[in-house]
A and B are shown apart, each in its own frame.
Chain A
Amino acid sequence: MEDELLKTIIAQGNSIKELLDSQKDSSNSRFTYFAATSLASTALGALLAYIVGHFSHKRHLKPESAKSFIKLLSNFEDQCLEYWSKDHDPKESLIEEAKIKAGHKQLRLYAEYGNFGLKKADKERLEKSISQLFDEATGGNFESKKRKASRTRTQKIAMITSRISPLLIEKSFE
């Protein structure tokens, strides 16, 4: 009798042990599952944050580039109009000519490498206009002692810059 009771107690003890062991395994599984889902959620959140940040930055880059270009273009136009609205001056012309050549270099480099989000046809129109601007701004008697003020040239420069601006103004508000 005592032996049977003892066997029963041992058997129950084993059952409890098995139950506890199974609960321990289940707990580990749940912990692992919880940890894995947490890590996955965190990684997914970080990835989403990166993607949103990346595209948000890119979206802001285009308007900022377009605004900077328009500002450069406006400064360049002012310099050219100032230069071509008066005759050659031995003192002032040299400085103005250096500014115009440097200003055009900035424009053509920015036009080539700037990220404005322009369509291919618009980018080609931009580059063509920048090239025409070079002809007008530094052509004729540019850097010559014979240079006279040129109404025609100031008007052409103003017209070319007015063709360039609309290509970029739309982009500056996106």
Chain B
Amino acid sequence: MKSINVGKEFSDHPIGRYREDGPESGQVFREDHLIPTLKKLKANEKLEIILDDGVEGYGSSFLVEAFAGVVRVGFMKSEDLLGLLTFKYSDDDFSFFEHKIKEYISEASYGATKESK
């Protein structure tokens, strides 16, 4: 199983939606971390996202762009992405963000946004 520790490997203050909002934005996370790691997964291998190690919280704009964006840009369908991701946190409050991420991925339209994959 591969993993991405958001707080340690990306930013302890994930903020913003688009790349022009800064290096801690959802688009940067998706394009530079999430999709490259998804590409490296072997058959039946899962990707664990560690949500709360050093991170205080997330905004909906970041989560939608980072996770639902994978489906929107047409890299992967909702059900496939949901089948690959697992979430880890020690703070129970972060179950809220796990739930929201899954909700946003489920609701995303495959290929709705024309962006480079």
Contact = CB atoms under 8 A, between A and B. Distances in A.
Contacts of B93: 105, 108-109
A144 B60 contact: no
A134 B99 CA distance: 12
Nearest to A109: B93
A84 to B, nearest CB: 12
Given A143-B17, A144-B21, A146-B18, A105 B57 contact: yes
A28 B109 CA distance: 89
Interface residues of A, number: 19
A119 B88 CA distance: 31
A139 B21 contact: no
Given A105-B93, A108-B93, A109-B93, A139 B18 contact: no
B61 A140 contact: yes
B106 to A, nearest CB: 13
B20 interface: yes
Interface in B54-76: 56-62, 64
Nearest to B56: A101
Contacts of A141: 17, 61
Nearest to B103: A131
B100 interface: yes
A139 B20 contact: no
A144 B57 contact: no
A138 B18 contact: no
A128 to B, nearest CB: 11
A25 B105 CA distance: 86
Interface of A: 97, 101-102, 105, 108-109, 131, 134-135, 137-146
